[in-house]
Amino acid sequence: MPVFEYSGLAADGKELRGVRDADSSRSLKAALRKEGILLTEFAEQAAAEAARRGIDFTKYFGRVSVQDLSIFTRQLSTLLKAGIPLVDSLGALSDQVENPKLRLIVSQVKQFVNEGGSLADGLEKHQKVFGDLYINMIRAGESSGALDIVLQRLADFMESQARLRTKVLSALFYPLLMVVVGVVIVGMVFVFIIPKITKIFEDVKASLPIPTLVLIFVSNVIKSYWWLLFIIAAAAVWLFRRWKRTPEGKVKWDAFVLRTVIFGNIIRMLAVARFSRTLSTLLKSGVPILGALDIVKNILGNTILVRAVEEARTSIKEGESIAGPLKRSGQFPPMVIHMIQTGERSGQLEEMLANVADAYDYQVETRLAVLVTLLEPLMILGMAGVVLMIVLSILLPILKINEFIQ
């Protein structure tokens, strides 16, 4: 039960302050009114304590992760399936949720629902945490009377997306770590080691090979103007991100990404898997196809694919099937189009979309594994090539000096 700190006026006009348990703000007002107290101000104790310290409670405790949200969703589904009323279920979860920000949100949503509001409307007040997909599925679940089933599907969906994301990040972690370590080591060689070695060549005043001159020039630039290189790199990144945020830049960059030889295909498969699984989950939960496509387009993360879905939505609104406009866009693989056509004809579109998502999730995992397997030796060869060039640039003048001495 929430604990409120309140202030009010007694019948004789005296100002009163106190702390009281109540199911909701409405219950608090009613209880105080019976005692002849006019409520003037109140706040939940946790929020009030944070306000006194000058802390924004929700911002201070960071964000709500997908894992936190999926655990909450599955627990809520389990409680509702056990026949526990929604308000009691939310109350039980508000006491045991570990994430402080989510705990406060659940408490606020519970209070809203206890006052007569719907769960979807209560979650919509925290749209940045839950998102359109989550809120619309909850709304569909409440309308159909199958909220516990929808919550279970939501939990399954979030867990599958989190697993895929973890696998992608895990596959890319080692190559990225090698790149960072390699750059740091080569940078230290250029800054600390090469200047000491090349000083010998300058003292001898012998004519140096071109690779050695290039090596000395690069070393001097890195050592003397490293701060300028950081500024140039930061400015380039800022200008690129600013250009990418413009409508024209975003379209050109997203088109370029999809055309890249290796990563373009993987990015497209990831988007198709996300599109198929999300659309399948929404349709199974009772969300209408046009509303589902509106939600799905916002999670694709690529302007070209978003435009294809928008055009498909317009065509579907005019009476077409889903497969036709997606095929005309040229952005979805033939297998996806065929599976959607089969699903529409057989009345099993949701199952077909789920099968497409499973197939493409597996392909992404397989291709990433192959890519990482190939990247490791290629990166080792690349680093070995850099080291070989440095060694040759140092050895060539040494051999030349030895010949001159003899």
pLDDT in tens, 343-359: 988 888 889 998 998 88
Look at phi and psi of residue 85 and say left if phi exceeds 0, alpha if psi is from -120 to 50, else beta.
beta
Confidence (pLDDT) at 236 = 94
Nearest to 295 by CA among 145, 127, 56, 169: 127
Q: Of the CATH numbers 3.90.226.10, 3.40.50.300, 3.90.1720.10, 1.20.81.30, which one belongs to the domain with range 62-156?
A: 1.20.81.30
How large is the angle between the packed helices 263-284 and 289-296, nearest 10 degrees? 150
DSSP strands (E only) in 241-291: none
The domain segmentation of the chain, as residue ranges, is 3-55, 62-156, 157-406
Average pLDDT over residues 114-121: 87
Q: Which CATH superfamily is domain 157-406 in?
A: Type II secretion system (T2SS), domain F (1.20.81.30)
pLDDT in tens, 213-238: 888 888 888 888 888 888 999 999 99
Residue 146 to residue 162: CA distance in whole angstroms: 24
Query: CA–CA distance from 299 to each of 211, 278, 294 (Å)?
Result: 49, 9, 10
Counting Cα atoms < 13 Å in the Cβ hemisphere of 329 gives 23
Residue 310 to residue 326: CA distance in whole angstroms: 10
Tell me how long the chain is.
406
Instruction: Identify the band that residue 242 occupies on the pLDDT scale cut at 50, 70 and 90.
Output: very high
Q: Which of 85-89, 195-199, 340-344 shows the lowest mean pLDDT across its residues?
A: 195-199
Q: Which of 155-159, 195-199, 285-289 shows the lowest mean pLDDT across its residues?
A: 195-199
How far apart are the two ends of the chain, measured CA to CA in Å? 93
pLDDT in tens, 20-31: 667 667 777 778
Instruction: Identify the band that residue 263 occupies on the pLDDT scale cut at 50, 70 and 90.
Output: confident
Confidence (pLDDT) at 235 = 95
Average pLDDT of the chain, as a whole number: 81
pTM of the predicted model, to two decimals? 0.64
Query: Is the pLDDT assigned to residue 44 strictly greater than 70?
Result: no
Query: Is the pLDDT assigned to residue 52 strictly greater than 50?
Result: no
Confidence (pLDDT) at 60 = 46
Tell me, rounded to whole angstroms, the distance of Cα 117 from its chain centroid: 30
